[in-house]
Amino acid sequence: MKQDKKSQIPGIDLTFADGGTGRIWGTSGLDDLRGNSFSKAAHYLQQRARQDQAFEWTVVLDLDQVISSAAIPLLGLMRTLKQIVAEKADRRYVRVEWRIKPGDDSMRSLANGVREQLGSIDGFSIDIVEVRKSGVARV
Amino acid sequence: MTIHRRRIKEMVARYGIGAHLDADHDVLVSAVRADLVDGEQLEVVLDELEQRLRDAEVEDRTIYAVRNIVLELAGNIRLHGISSRSEPELLVVNRRGADVQVWLFGQGPRQEVNRLSDIIRDIKAIAIPPHHREVLLERRNQGLMRRAEPSKVYGGGVGMLTVAALSSEPLWFKLGRAREVSSFALRSTVQVASA
């Protein structure tokens, strides 16, 4: 799935072709008002997990903006990832790297809220990292 | 990019807000319904707005806040607004001293506009600036978590909680005509810190 440069739908690449790392980036806004892109990604990942059985995935979440009405499906996507790991915790590992920009209070709060809501289990974690001009730092 | 000066002046006169908005001097961007319900068009507006704020050396936190407020208001129009040839919605962002102000002149079914008014009133009862941001964002998050299963209830209160949280002053709301279709003016103010 590719993102049109100017549309308000996130780009999603969860093929894990790059050493087990997938990416979600861009804006989930007017063209993704119901967060359908996140719901589709969750469905795809469930199928992929059934196919692959054992894996180590890193999902880099690098979103510029998420409209509130799309945030619930985004939470659903994170919950799906956790469930996928819980089904076979000895053979599956998923790390979500949620990138936020310093000063983006809304995204920071959303990321913290999702992490607190889901908690962590063996094999699943959400790491919130701040993207600065000098590099990234874990929050 | 077009600034809709004539329409802005009409709104200034209608709502008596000349002390806060000057169509000829302090408007950064303005947008009408066609810009606010289409993702590509809104991206053009947001990019233009960000550029103007960066040109004025406004720091990142303010820019992110203003972008998010505009996005939430546009989503509100897309979800709840109604198209009218005679009075299309208008969004205006202006710089007034140390503040960036985001104005939405909108309209909708009376029931929807009354609901918006109620939501804004309720938000003020939860927390008001300056000690409001964390509280309102947390309340927004709680609202999202409660609705974590897909339903017909989207945005609405949580979107306006986001707008209020990112604002530096309580949201200002004024009802215009109240017939079957009600019109309103809403203002979000974000205090600027220099980069």
User: What is the number of other CB atoms lying within 10 angstroms of the CB of residue B118?
Assistant: 11
Predicted confidence at residue B145, as pLDDT, reads 86
Segment 9-38 of chain A within 8 Å of chain B by CB: 9, 27, 29-31, 33-34
ipTM for this model: 0.91
Q: Is A67 on the interface with B (CB under 8 A)?
A: yes
Predicted confidence at residue B85, as pLDDT, reads 61
Single-letter code of the amino acid located at B151? S
Q: Are the beta carbons of A65 and B71 separated by less than 8 Å?
A: yes
B195: pLDDT strictly greater than 60: no
Residue B57, sorted as left (phi over 0), alpha (psi -120 to 50) or beta, turns out to be left
Which band of pLDDT confidence, cut at 50, 70 and 90, is reported for residue B20? very high
What's the average model confidence in pLDDT over B79-85? 76
Q: Which of A34, A65, A69 sits opposite B68 (nearest CB)?
A: A65
Report the domain count for chain B.
1
Q: Residue A100's closest chain B neighbor by CA?
A: B64
Tokens representing A27?
């804006």
CB within 8 Å of B80: residues ≥ 6 apart: B108, B112, B116, B156
- The residues facing B106 across adjacent strands are B184
- Within a 13 Å sphere around the CA of B193, how many CA atoms are in the beta-carbon half? 9
A60-107: per-residue pLDDT in tens? 999 999 999 999 999 999 999 999 999 999 999 999 999 999 999 999
Predicted TM-score (pTM) of this structure: 0.93
Q: Is A119 on the interface with B (CB under 8 A)?
A: no
Q: Enumerate the residues of chain A whose CB falls inside 8 A of the CB of residue B158.
A: 68-69, 71
Q: Considering only A100-114, B41-55, B81-95, B148-162, which range has the smallest mean pLDDT? A: B148-162
Segment 79-98 of chain A within 8 Å of chain B by CB: 79
CATH of residue B84's domain is 3.30.565.10
> Residue A110 and residue B144: Cα distance in Å, rounded?
9
Q: Is A105 helix (H, G, I), strand (E, B) or coil?
A: helix
**May I ask the CATH class of domain A11-138?**
alpha beta
Sign of CA dihedral B61, B63, B67, B73: positive
Q: Are the beta carbons of A69 and B144 separated by less than 8 Å?
A: no
Nearest to A60 by CA among A22, A93, A92: A22
Interface residue ranges in chain B relative to chain A, Cβ cutoff 8 Å: 37-40, 42-44, 59-61, 64-65, 67-68, 71-72, 74-75, 78-79, 133-134, 137-138, 140-142, 144-145, 147-148, 150, 154-155, 158-159, 161-162, 165-166
First to last CA, chain A: 29
- Full domain range(s) for residue B103: 5-191
Instruction: State the best of A72, A78, A100 to mutate against chain B, taking most chain B CBs within 10 Å.
Output: A72
Which band of pLDDT confidence, cut at 50, 70 and 90, is reported for residue B178? low
Q: Considering only A109-113, B52-56, B160-164, B177-181, which range has the smallest mean pLDDT? A: B177-181
Which band of pLDDT confidence, cut at 50, 70 and 90, is reported for residue B1? confident
Nearest to B68 by CA among A77, A138, A110: A110
Q: Are the beta carbons of A106 and B68 separated by less than 8 Å?
A: yes
Task: Calculate the alpha carbon distances from B155 to A42, B75, B80, B159, B168 in Å.
Answer: 21, 8, 10, 5, 21
B145-177: per-residue pLDDT in tens? 887 654 444 445 899 999 999 999 999 999 987
Our CA dihedral for A110, A113, A117, A121, rounded to 10 degrees, sits at 90
Q: Which residue has the higher pLDDT, B110 or A23?
A: A23
Predicted confidence at residue A6, as pLDDT, reads 79
Which band of pLDDT confidence, cut at 50, 70 and 90, is reported for residue B82? confident
Q: Which helix (H) or strand (E) holds A97?
A: strand A92-100
Which band of pLDDT confidence, cut at 50, 70 and 90, is reported for residue A4? very low
User: What is the number of other CB atoms lying within 10 angstroms of the CB of residue B16?
Assistant: 10
Predicted confidence at residue B15, as pLDDT, reads 96
Single-letter code of the amino acid located at B181? V
Predicted confidence at residue B187, as pLDDT, reads 98
Q: Give B13 to chain A, closest Cα distance, Å.
A: 31
